[in-house]
C-alpha cells in the first residue's frame, strides 16, 4: 500500500537495514556508500516519478535477531514507501516472514539461496549466482581441481557456524559428489573464534587434497594466517571466503594470500567492464578514504548500485510504487545495470550465473592499489573469462 503524501514533491522514501557494524560491517559500509552515490545520482536527474528520493537505513549490527523489528519499524512507524534487502543471507532471511506477510516487493543484496525453500514470488536476488546459487558459488573451485594432474581426490570442509555458511556448504558437498571427491573432514567454528590453529591442525591430520573454507571477514584473516603458519599444504585452498574480496583484508594479508583460490563477483577484466561500472568505481574511490571503507569497492559497490538501479527502473517503467506492480514487472524485465544486463528467473535468482574464481598471485607488500587491476587476482574460471594460469599445487604459489 502506498503511503499518503500531501504534495507531489514529497520524497519517495526507501527503507532497509544493513550490517554497518559487527562481523560484516566493513562490507555493509561499502554497500552503504554505493547506495548513497546512487541516491545522489538519481536526485541529480530529478528523482523518481518527479519526486526526490530518500533512503532510511538502520544498522542491524550483523545480528539477525534485530532484523524483523527494524523492518517492522520501517513499515509501521517510518511508513516508508518501499523496503529493500540489506547485505547477505543473515540480514535478508530473517526479514522474509514479514515481507511475505505484507506482500512487499523485495530486492536483496548478495543473499545466497534465500528463496530456495520459501519460493516467494516478489523476492529478487542481486547476486550473480544464477538459478542454482548453492552450487554456482563454488562450482569453479571443484571443476578446477578435477582437471589438475595429479587429480585431487579428497576434500576438507571448514566453515563459520552461521546462517550464511549453510548454503555454500550444501553446494560444496553437491559439487564434491559431482566431481568424485571424498569428504574426509568437516568442521565448523563460532564467529567469536580467534585461535584457528587447532582447526588447521585437525584438518591437516586428514591430509585432504582440497581445503574448502567458508568464512566472514575477520575469520578469513585468522584462517589465512593459521594456514600459512602450518606445515600442511593442500593442493588447493579457499573457494568461499567472504573477506579476500575486501581491499582492506587484501591489504592486511598481503603476500599471505598468494595461492589462495576464491570466488569473486566482479574483477577488473575486460569482459566484466560493463557500461558505467568504471565511472561508478572512480566516484566511489574518491569518497571511500574519507568514509573509512574498502578503498577499491570491487566486491560491494557494483552490486549495491545495481540493486538500486533495478528498483529505480521498475518504478520508472510502471510509474508506480505499488509492490504488486513492481514485482510483476521485475519477473519479466531485462534490467540494464553496472553489472551488465540482468534478468530474474526461478526463485528470483539471475537467469544466468556470472561467478568467477580468482587465484591470488605475486602479491608483494600491503598496498591495496596493486589490486586495481587483475594482475594479482588472476581469473582462473570460468574458461571464457580466464585471464591467467592456475598455479597448482598451492605450495608453488606461496
Please list the alpha-helical segments (H only) found in the chain. Answer: 25-44, 67-76, 89-92, 96-102, 133-146, 163-178, 197-206, 218-229, 247-253, 277-291, 301-318, 323-332
The ranges assigned to domains in the chain are 12-128+273-348, 133-264+361-397
Nearest to 96 by CA among 126, 120, 128: 120
**Do 12-128+273-348 and 133-264+361-397 agree at the fold level?**
yes
Quick one: cell of 3? 503511503
DSSP letters, 8-74, are TTSPEEEEEEE--SSTTHHHHHHHHHHHHHHHHHHHHTT-BTTB-EEEEEEE-TT-GGGHHHHHHHH
Q: Which superfamily is assigned to 12-128+273-348 in CATH?
A: Response regulator (3.40.50.2300)
For residue 210, give the H/E element and its range.
Answer: strand 210-215
pLDDT tens track, the chain, 398 positions = 333 333 458 999 999 999 999 999 999 999 999 999 999 999 999 999 999 999 999 999 999 999 999 999 999 999 999 999 999 999 999 999 999 999 999 999 999 999 999 999 999 999 999 999 989 999 999 999 999 999 999 999 999 998 888 889 999 999 999 999 999 999 999 999 999 999 999 999 999 999 999 999 999 999 999 999 999 999 999 999 999 999 999 999 999 999 999 999 999 999 999 999 999 999 999 999 999 999 999 999 999 999 999 999 999 999 999 999 999 999 999 999 999 999 999 999 999 999 999 999 999 999 999 999 999 999 999 999 999 999 999 999 99
Q: What topology is assigned to 133-264+361-397 in CATH?
A: Rossmann fold (3.40.50)
Amino acid at each position: 500500500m502506498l503511503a499518503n503524501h500531501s504534495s507531489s514533491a514529497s520524497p519517495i522514501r526507501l527503507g532497509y537495514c544493513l550490517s554497518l557494524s559487527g562481523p560484516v560491517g566493513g562490507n555493509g559500509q561499502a554497500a552503504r556508500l554505493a547506495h548513497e552515490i546512487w541516491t545522489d545520482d538519481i536526485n541529480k536527474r530529478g528523482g523518481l516519478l518527479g519526486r526526490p528520493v530518500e533512503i532510511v537505513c538502520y544498522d542491524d549490527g550483523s545480528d539477525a535477531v534485530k532484523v524483523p523489528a527494524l523492518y517492522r519499524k520501517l513499515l509501521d512507524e517510518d511508513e516508508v514507501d518501499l523496503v529493500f534487502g540489506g547485505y547477505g543471507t543473515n540480514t535478508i532471511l530473517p526479514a522474509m516472514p514479514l515481507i511475505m506477510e505484507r506482500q512487499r516487493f523485495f530486492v536483496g543484496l548478495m543473499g545466497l539461496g534465500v528463496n530456495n525453500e520459501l519460493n516467494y514470488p516478489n523476492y529478487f536476488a542481486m547476486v550473480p549466482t544464477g538459478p542454482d546459487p548453492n552450487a554456482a558459488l563454488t562450482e569453479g573451485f571443484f571443476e578446477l581441481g578435477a582437471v589438475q594432474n595429479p587429480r585431487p581426490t579428497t576434500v576438507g570442509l571448514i566453515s563459520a557456524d552461521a546462517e550464511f555458511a549453510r548454503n555454500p556448504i550444501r553446494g560444496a558437498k553437491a559439487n564434491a559428489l559431482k566431481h568424485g571427491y571424498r569428504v574426509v573432514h568437516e568442521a565448523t567454528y563460532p564467529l567469536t573464534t580467534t585461535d584457528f590453529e587447532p582447526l588447521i591442525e585437525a584438518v591437516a591430520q586428514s591430509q585432504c587434497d582440497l581445503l574448502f573454507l567458508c568464512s566472514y571477514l575477520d575469520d578469513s584473516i585468522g584462517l589465512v594466517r593459521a594456514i600459512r603458519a602450518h606445515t600442511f599444504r593442500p593442493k588447493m585452498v579457499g573457494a568461499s571466503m567472504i573477506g579476500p574480496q575486501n581491499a582492506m583484508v587484501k591489504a592486511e594479508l598481503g603476500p599471505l594470500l598468494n595461492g589462495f583460490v576464491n570466488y569473486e563477483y566482479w574483477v577488473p577484466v575486460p569482459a566484466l567492464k560493463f557500461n558505467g561500472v568504471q565511472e561508478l568505481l572512480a566516484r566511489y574511490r574518491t569518497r571511500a578514504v574519507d568514509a573509512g571503507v574498502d578503498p577499491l569497492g570491487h566486491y560491494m559497490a557494483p552490486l549495491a548500485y545495481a540493486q538500486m538501479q533495478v528498483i529505480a527502473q521498475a518504478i520508472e517503467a510502471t510509474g508506480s510504487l505499488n509492490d504488486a506492480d513492481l514485482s510483476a514487472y521485475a519477473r519479466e524485465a531485462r534490467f540494464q545495470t553496472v553489472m551488465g544486463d540482468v534478468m530474474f528467473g526461478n526463485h528470483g535468482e539471475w537467469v544466468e550465473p556470472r561467478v568467477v574464481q580468482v587465484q591470488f598471485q605475486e602479491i608483494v607488500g600491503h598496498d591495496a592499489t596493486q589490486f586495481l587491476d587483475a594482475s594479482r587476482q588472476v581469473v582462473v574460471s570460468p574458461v571464457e573469462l580466464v585471464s591467467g594460469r592456475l598455479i597448482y599445487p598451492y605450495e608453488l604459489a606461496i
